[in-house]
Amino acid sequence: MLASSSLPLLPKDLASDCEVRWCPGCGDFSILAQMKKVLSVLGLPRERMVFVSGLGCAGRFPYYLNTYGFQTIHGRAVAVATGLKLARPELLVWVITGDGDGLSAGGNHLLHAMRRNVDIKVILINNEVLGRSKGQSSPTSRVGTRTKSNPLGTFDTPLRPLSVALAAEATFVARTVDVDIDHLGETLLRAARHRGAAFVEIYQNCNVFNPDVFAYASDKAVKFDNVVYVEHGKPMIFGKDRDRGVRLNGLTLEVVSRSQVASSELLLHDETLAEPILAHLLARMTYQPDDPTSMPEVMGVLRAVERPPHHDQVEAHQTGCDPSEVDLAAFYATGETWTYEENEPPGNQLP
Amino acid sequence: MAERPLLREQTTGPQQTTSPEMRSSLTIRLAGDAGDSIQLMGQRLAHSAALQGHTIYTLPDFPSEIRAPVGSLPGVFGYLIVIDSDAAPIPGDGTDVLLAMNPAALKVHLAELMPGGLLLVDRDAFTIDNLLSAGYLSDPLNDASLADYRVCKVAITSTSREALEPFKLFRAEADRCKSLFALGLLCRLFDCSPQPTMGWLSAKFAKKPEVFQANQRAIEAGYRYGDSSEMVSAIALLGRYRIARARVVPGRYRQVSGHEAIALALITAATRSRRRLVYAAHPLPTAGELLHRLAELQRWAGCIFQAEDEAAAVGAAVGAAFGGCLGVTASSGNGLVRKSDAIGLAVITELPLVVVAVQHAGPSVGLSTKPEQSDLLLSLFGRNGECPTVVMAVSSPADGFTMTLEACRIALKYMTPVILLTDASLIHAAETWRIPEISTLPRLDAPLTTGPNSSVGEQGVSTPRSSSLTFSPTIAQGESVFLPYRRDQRLVRSWAVPGTPGLEHRLGGLEKEDETGHVSYDPRNHERMVGLRATKIARIADDLPPLEVNGPTQGDVLLVGWGGTIGPLRLAADRLRSRGFSVAHAHLRYLNPLPTNTPDVLRRYRTVLVAELNQGQLAWLLRGAFLIDCISFIKMQGKPLSIREIEQQVEQLLGLSTQVTG
């Protein structure tokens, strides 16, 4: 417990003495491993890192890291993290949440943290199912998913986490997948280094309650045909043979064959656009199984722009002094005061 | 100045003696349209009265709608002023004086006026339109409906307009000054100087001298009108009041409203504890006032955060507490329910948290601006699981300062949430407050832990309950460790905050293993932790002042109350004692834990009468806690207790009377 917090840190220094208790094969193991690597290269001592979570399987994440941690209650991790960041702007605050915790009870807080640009790193581990409560539909379960709460198939339209974050004016929005460890690590690192609210959706495999729902995006045999890895300033090209690209046609995106379309016509990714229209389009690209004209889904950073983080704004607008510097006598005397004296008419003490 | 003749027939009512009636307290109600600057008039009158050596208590009665039609009943704004000679001014059961600026104001507030009370009306406002808007079918100034009162009809609007003629103002501008005319008249009637208001206006309108001059002229005209031979003879006929000077501790004073007192105390607590204040709140009616006040005091305060909802507000306060700040939130009514979940989190994580709860009539939204005391049991028990918190109550606007400091002291000292109950009336009411000497303020110790608090192998640390630590491969025997749930002799755990090297630990809402804080499903550990949390709160009673009794230390009847009902209960007991009855009054400021002497006090009286603005929640608590029978007096009208109804209840208990009105 009292291992030195001196730098440099190694990933193993970040393991807590708690036994990890996710199901064997859970995607969270990979996310935890990559997180430790990322933390070890940030140049920050452990005590400056805080992990805040809510409920669900992702909620256990803080217990497994030898940093400060706070598992809160259903949906409120973002609210607690916002208060913590107000209290201690110098901390690196992560929120680990899931599609159930973050988008059901926590949906409202998520929106407001994004619009305020609270300098927290929200990692939304999306497995499209409620795992901890043993397998019910979540706000991201795709239509037709058979769950304990919808045995005949989910029929509510799912939320798209990236679209939610973009609509809430998030300044950093990215997506990655649990088993693509290099991409996962790079994405987490970029989130950590973003100044302001970062939102990362991780496709995660719940091998117990919703197995292989993201196989199209994680299985090396097929994923290159089904996802496009976007990079800033580079054309959007995908396919196992890099034979396809994405082109903007009017107000919609379309998949084109590179053999038929000049490279100059392909869409160049720009994560820094002030208006997030392109990011909105990318967030809505949806893989359709059994459809040869299906769009690929986007992996990578969709949006990364600068806007003053919440604590900077608070500091600029609230000059509340250090409590140790408040002169209470002067403070109480603000406004109109007067003196009652023994047997004498009180004097008027206008300011 | 052209003065309108005040004809003899304009004054009606019973003949009175011409010598002033000496009063220890006078309750005045000003009422008019929201546009009539009633609040300003009331605040200035109260301030002037305070400078004359009186204590004062004020309470605005806001219209139910934001912008109701002019002259309508829902648009009436009322302002209550008590000018008192007691250190703790208390409104009487009814008003002694009513100033009605229009018929609607008369209609809404006449029922409070005591028979024989002085009724001042702006007779210019009793037009057919205004009478119809107020639902009058006949002019009350010209029928017999006001025969029980001493009526003084004053042409406020027209006389004020005449006085301002030289300023060539638009009529609407001139009419805005009529409240100042009325204020001048009231100052004259109640022996207050208009000068402080002049000074206040000149500061307020320093950049608009013409506005200041018109306002000044209106006040002077009103004041002189009170001196006019017509008014003097009318008042001589009606009788007038003088109020005794207050007997108060000499010192520097100011007015504070309930929310102001809490705001001042929160900043004081931050300063005394050297913990930065993070105040997080979602604005709800009544509790929102506290947010506004702290926002105004921003340069003194730490950090003010307007959260998106109640859960976010309390969540942010808990997060700030985790970060080592003084985390405070406030709610009113059903807002407290939405905070229950996170209060439970602060209970199990044992973090300091102050929750100000402004009670209003419920259930649900209920009467969101009317006071009630119906959230007592919610505060004690309204969370899942065994979830003890400290619960305390504010009993007067200025008491909000004392109790808020106390709430912060206990929260920080014992690492616990504290719910501080106030109500919709207390939060808006204002009273005279003696500015404390800084040296008399309590110290608020809130030390943060900076190093290890245990070493492995010492007693307690390697017992089987700390199983996960004992079996940890990384820690050697004798090594120094930090155990987040290691407790001192008061059972309080350490407050170690993120940023402190070497003390990294995890908190959470899952049941924790004793000492280590690791997640634990062990049945015996859970039972032990439930007991530890309960005992920690129960033992705080040793650190609380005993329950005090006003009146005989034993006897026939003990009146017991809590919160904002202190005034009527104290006065009722005083009056009963002055009539020779053995009646005492005890007011609970701490509801959980209760002061240790509470059962001893209750047992010393033949009858315990618990009076509260709910269905008997404190009575239920006292019976359950001490097996002492209590008689409950309850009232659920969104209104304060009246002194008379308490007296009548006690008379009935003593077999003196059978008539009780409630």
Are A77 and A196 part of one and the same domain? yes
A301 domain residue, yes or no: yes
- Of A189-193, A195-199, A332-336, B625-629, least confident by mean pLDDT is A332-336
pLDDT in tens, B530-562: 999 999 999 999 999 999 999 999 999 999 999
Assess whether the region B254-440 and the region B549-653 belong to the same CATH fold: yes
Residue type, B441: L
Q: Which residues of A touch B468 (CB under 8 A)?
A: 17-19
Residue of B nearest to A332 (CA): B435
Task: Tell me how far apart the alpha carbons of residues A36 and A20 are, in angstroms, rounded to a whole number.
Answer: 14
Q: CATH for B549-653? A: 3.40.50.920
Q: Is B615 exposed, middle or buried (0-12, 13-18, 19+ CB in 10 A)?
A: middle
In a domain, A318, yes or no: no
**In chain A, whose CA is at the least distance from the CA of B196?**
A348
**What does R_g of chain B's alpha carbons equal in angstroms?**
28
Q: Are residues A205 and A113 in the same domain?
A: yes
Task: Please report residues of B whose CB lies closer than 8 A to that of A2.
Answer: 452, 479-482, 502
- Please report, as a single letter, which amino acid is at residue B358: V
| B621 within 8 A of B591, measured Cβ to Cβ | yes
**Minimal Cβ distance to B319: which of A16, A81, A348:** A81
Q: Does domain B8-243 have CATH number 3.40.920.10?
A: yes
Of B50, B312, B349, the CB nearest to A79: B312
CA distance A86 to chain B (A): 7
pLDDT tens, position by position, B404-460? 999 999 999 999 999 999 999 999 999 999 999 999 999 898 889 999 998 876 655
pLDDT tens for B329-357 read 999 999 999 999 999 999 999 999 999 99
Q: Give the CA diameter of chain A.
A: 102
Nearest by CB to residue B341, choosing from A5, A73, A333, is: A73
The Cα B179–Cα B641 span in angstroms is 31
Residues A190 and A252 in one domain: no
Residue A2 counted as domain residue: no
Closest CB from A3, A82, A341 relative to B319: A82
CB distance B271–A47 less than 8 Å? Answer: no
Do A71 and A131 fall into the same domain?
A: yes
> Pick from B254, B274, B518: which is nearest to A18 by CB?
B518
Q: What is the pLDDT of residue A258?
A: 96
Where are the domains positioned within chain B? 8-243, 254-440, 447-525+533-541, 549-653
At A74 the pLDDT is: 96
The Cα–Cα gap between B93 and B574 comes to: 15
Q: B-chain residues within 8 Å CB-CB of A102? A: none
Residues B436-448 pLDDT 10s: 999 999 989 888 9
Which tens digits make up the pLDDT trace of B10-21? 444 444 445 677
DSSP A260: T
A208 and A258 part of one domain = no
- Looking at CATH, the fold of the domain delimited by B254-440 is given as Rossmann fold (3.40.50)
Residue A5 is assigned to a structural domain of this protein: no
In chain A, what residues touch B267 (CB-CB under 8 Å)?
323, 326, 331
Of A47, A83, A332, the CB nearest to B280: A83
- Quote the pLDDT of residue B42: 95
Please give the angle made by the CA atoms of B53, B54 and B56, to the nearest 5 degrees.
Answer: 140
A1 falls within a domain: no
Q: Do A322 and B276 touch (CB under 8 A)?
A: yes
Task: For residues B592 and B475, give the distance between their C-alpha atoms in angstroms, rounded to a whole number.
Answer: 40
Instruction: Give the chain A residue whose CA is nearest to the CA of B480.
Output: A2
Chain B nearest C-alpha distance from A12 (Å): 12
Nearest CA in chain A to B342: A73
Q: What is the pLDDT of residues B590-606, one digit of tens each?
A: 999 999 999 999 999 99
Looking at beta carbons, which residues of chain B come within 8 Å of A69? 504-508
- Closest-CA distance of chain A to residue B509, Å: 6
How many independent structural domains does chain A possess?
3
Residue A165, in any domain of the structure: yes
Question: Distance between terminal CA atoms of chain B?
Answer: 50
Q: Which residues of B touch A109 (CB under 8 A)?
A: 308, 311-312, 315
Distance CA B570, CA B58 (A): 19
CATH code for the domain in which residue A294 is found: 3.40.50.970
Listing DSSP states for B148-204 in one string gives TSEEEEE-HHHHHHHHTGGG---HHHHHHTHHHHHHHHHHHHTT--SHHHHHHHHHH
B315 closest CB neighbour out of A1, A66, A76: A76
Q: Strand, helix or coil at B7? A: coil
Q: Which of A255, A305, A237, A239 has its CA nearest to residue A277? A: A305
- Per-residue pLDDT of B609-656, as tens digits, reads 999 999 999 999 999 999 999 999 999 999 899 999 999 999 999 987
Residue A351, pLDDT > 70, answer no
Q: Percentage of chain A with pLDDT > 90? A: 87
CA of B344 vs chain A CAs: smallest distance (Å) = 9
| pLDDT above 80: residue B574 | yes
Structure confidence by residue, pLDDT tens digits, B246-281: 888 899 999 999 999 999 999 999 999 999 999 999
Cβ within 8 Å, pair A340-B253: yes
pLDDT digits (tens, 9 = 90+) for B30-57: 999 988 899 999 999 999 999 988 999 9
Sequence-ordered list of residues with C-beta below 8 angstroms from that of B132, at least 6 positions apart, any chain: none
Q: Which residue in B has a C-alpha nearest to residue A3's C-alpha?
A: B502
Backbone angles phi, psi at A172, to 5 degrees: -140, 120
Q: Which of B87-91, B357-361, B606-610, B654-658 has the lowest mean pLDDT?
A: B654-658
Residue A212 falls inside a structural domain: yes
* Mean pLDDT, all residues of chain B: 90
Of B233 and B641, which is predicted with more confidence? B641
- If you average pLDDT over residues A147-170, what whole number do you get? 96
Give contacts of A58 with chain B, Cβ < 8 Å: none
At residue B474, does pLDDT exceed 60? no
Query: Distance between CA atoms of B273 and B268, rounded to whole angstroms?
Result: 8
The answer to whether the CB atoms of A83 and B323 lie below 8 A apart is yes
Contact B320 A70 (CB under 8 A): no
pLDDT at B405: 98
The one-letter amino acid at B519: V
* pLDDT at residue A190 greater than cutoff 60: yes
A128 and A259 part of one domain: no
pLDDT per position as a tens digit, A222-270: 999 999 999 999 999 999 999 999 999 999 999 999 999 999 999 999 9
CB contact under 8 A, B510 and A71: yes
Q: Cβ contacts (< 8 Å) between A326 and chain B: which residues?
A: 267, 270-271, 300
A67-71, A341-345, B81-85, B157-161: which has the minimum mean pLDDT? Answer: A341-345
Radius of gyration of chain A (CA): 24
Residue type, B582: S
* A247 and A345 together in one domain: no
ipTM: 0.95
User: pLDDT-derived band of residue B475, with 50, 70 and 90 as boundaries?
Assistant: low
Q: How far is CA B290 from the centre of its chain?
A: 11
Q: Is the pLDDT of residue A205 over 50?
A: yes
Residue A321 with chain B: CB contacts under 8 Å = 299-300
What residues in B contact A335, CB-CB < 8 Å?
A: 254
Q: Is residue A6 part of a domain?
A: no
pLDDT at B498 over 90: yes
**Domain range for residue A309?**
11-234+269-313
Nearest to A63 among B251, B278, B506 (CB): B506
Residues 6+ positions from A289 with CB-CB distance below 8 Å: A216
Q: Across the interface, do B312 and A5 touch by the CB < 8 Å criterion?
A: no
What are the chain B neighbours of A54 within 8 Å (beta carbons)? none
Q: Which of A91, A109, A346 sits opposite B498 (nearest CB)?
A: A91
**Shared domain check, A296 and A274:** yes
Is there a single domain that holds both residue A197 and residue A170?
A: yes
Instruction: Please tell me which of the candidates B203, B302, B319 has its beta carbon nearest to residue A83.
Output: B319
| A203 and A118, same domain (yes or no) | yes
A154 shares its domain with A249: no
pLDDT digit string, tens, across residues B653-662: 998 755 544 4
pLDDT score, position A343: 53
> Tens digit of pLDDT for each residue in A77-119?
999 999 999 999 999 999 999 999 999 999 999 999 999 999 9
For B266, name the nearest residue in chain A, comparing CA atoms only. A323
Q: What is the DSSP annotation of B395-444? A: -STTHHHHHHHHHHHHHHHHT-EEEEEEEHHHHH-EEEEEPPPGGGSPP-
* Contact at CB, B504 and A63, closer than 8 angstroms: no
Q: Nearest CA to CA, how far is B116 from chain A (Å)? A: 31
Cβ–Cβ below 8 Å for B303 and A345: no
Q: DSSP character for A179? A: T
Distance from CA of B265 to the nearest CA of A (A): 10
Percent of chain B topping pLDDT 90: 75
- Chain A's closest residue to B263, CA to CA, is A332
**Among B270, B308, B508, beta carbon nearest to A70:** B508
CA distance A101 to chain B (A): 14
Which of the residue ranges A170-179, B188-197, B358-367 has the most confident prediction, judged by mean pLDDT? A170-179
Residue range B196-214: mean pLDDT, rounded: 91
Structure tokens at A312: 């900077």
Percentage with pLDDT > 70 across chain A: 95
Q: Judge if A109 and A174 occupy the same domain.
A: yes
Give me the half-sphere count of Cα atoms (radius 13 Å) on the Cβ side of residue B532.
26
